[in-house]
Structure 1
Amino acid sequence: AKENLLLELGITFQHGALFDSLKNWENIVFKVKNTKKLSKKDAGILALSIIKRLGLEPQILDLYPSEISGGMQKRVAIARAICGDPKILLFDEPTSGLDPVTGSLIDELIITAVKTVGGSAITITHDMASVCRIADKVILIDNKTISWSGTPKEMLKSKNSRIQEFIQSTNPKLFQ
């Protein structure tokens, strides 16, 4: 039962949380390989198929996380999250610490990942540009309370002072 629950949830963490001692392909299939008892060969084939589904370069598979950039580590973490086609994806600050170009690439990858698994996604972020690109619905949590919810378009038009303050402080160009 616990293993089935694990397979239904895919998570990326703010700082990647890849296993340094495992190659990227091993990181990608870690959860599925251990719960479904895949052979090394089948696990490698699965990792390659996921990388291809996301449009990533297969050369990264035989490298360790320390041998790739932070942005690429986030991509590997997304590949790991969708391995096994979970019903729910959780992205924790997926674009934090990235330049705007790489952040946009990660957003596109998230959109692709969600379409690939056909499930639902929850993204925790302070990146309002990212919110506008990837979200269907936005929920602002302030002091442990849901203080506002709506679509990204509604968010940008909102007269709610906390919404305006948050957007202005993170990305004033969104309000123009």
Structure 2
Amino acid sequence: MRKPQPAPEIALVAVADDDTFAHAYPDVPTLLCDPVVTGAHRDELEFFDAEGRRLNPVTGPTGELTGLRAGAGEPDPDALRHRLARVVRHVETHLRARPELVERFGIAPEAAIAALPDPERLSLAETLAVLPHQDRPEVRRTAWWQPDVPAYAHSDGWFHNAMHAAGWTHP
């Protein structure tokens, strides 16, 4: 089974406001190229730097996301780790309910669940390194999660794909 690949020098993380999804990014330009961040779910995301400091969205004249700026307050890496742990638990619950999401990639559901990271036991840096990430913005992502078409899955790995499948629209 292919394990999630570590991301190169993660600087930012986007977390769904309901803790059902997270993605890590090496920099703001890469984050701004991700349609998940700039699309329909933009207002449902919260942003943090790699130290756990909240980042506030900066928007342009028409409301588009143009950047991020440091929020008030000190970084809180433990709070971010706990949120990421809730995201991983959500993915686990979704994989238990939908084992076909990983079976189609030749992975037994229990093996996939056992391979999920445990943010409660890892440092924030270790957790961010194994979160799904986008470090190649030039690669246009496809709607891989179509239930009967595993060929749509992209090469960022089963954990990345499971994170999308378990995201906002799934209980």
TM-score of the superposed pair, with normalisation by structure 2 = 0.29
Structure with larger RCO (C-alpha < 8 A, sep 6+): 2
Q: Which has the higher helix share?
A: 1
Higher-Rg member (1/2): 1
TM-score of the superposed pair, with normalisation by structure 1 = 0.28
